[in-house]
A and B are shown apart, each in its own frame.
Chain A
């Protein structure tokens, strides 16, 4: 089944403890991206990747890192999480190297930073 998977789905952590949220797609998509969703603010793009080893900042990249060593994986890294990073995170992918086609979204990761 064609899908985007994220892990973990739920995570409660403490300030400063490094964490990684994994994202994987099995559709051979070029474009992958991370969003955070907060009440009243909609979805905001954190980072995106046009292809392997090509990543760029989105609207709200501060406090996050990403890597794209393989086409299928696009992990989101929080080196030193803070409470303002408590949010619902979505990974998405699309076929073309840009947001010109439909995005396929993962199920979301609900992160709480205490």
Chain B
């Protein structure tokens, strides 16, 4: 079963607006990662936030993590048409059962020029 669930599944905004995507997960994690995927292509890592961090920034990206609610959000400020892509959260677990990275179903973002 999927560990991460993104919300919304699809988001359409105008260029210049902010885009917020949310991710919820079910179990304790070591870290949470966000990836971007352009249609049919490989995923590109955006940002990683560890379980003891609450907020992280990278350029126009801002990620928050609330481990008590088992949720994370990705904010893209001042969006551009080139930000159109699918965005995935992935949770990394570290336990005796293994070392897996589990992805959510993704949010499809469309930024209209």
> What is A's interface to B at a CB cutoff of 8 Å?
4, 31, 33, 35, 40-45, 48, 50, 56-59, 88, 90, 92, 97-108, 110
| A39 nearest in chain B by CB position | B105
User: Is there a chain A Cβ closer than 8 Å to B92's Cβ?
Assistant: yes
* Docked complex Cα distance between A101 and B48 (Å): 7
Considering only CB atoms and an 8 Å cut-off, how many residues of chain B contact the other chain?
Answer: 26
| B3 nearest in chain A by CB position | A59
Are B92 and A100 within 8 A (Cβ)?
A: yes
A48-B101, A103-B33, A108-B42 given. 7 additional CB < 8 A pairs? A43-B103, A58-B100, A99-B92, A99-B100, A102-B48, A103-B45, A105-B43
* Docked complex Cα distance between A95 and B104 (Å): 22
A59 partner residues in chain B, CB cutoff 8 A? 100, 102
| Least Cβ–Cβ distance between B96 and chain A, in angstroms | 12
B100 partner residues in chain A, CB cutoff 8 A? 45, 48, 58-59, 99
A58 partner residues in chain B, CB cutoff 8 A? 100
B105 partner residues in chain A, CB cutoff 8 A? 40-42
| Least Cβ–Cβ distance between B44 and chain A, in angstroms | 7
Are B40 and A88 within 8 A (Cβ)?
A: yes
* Docked complex Cα distance between A110 and B30 (Å): 31
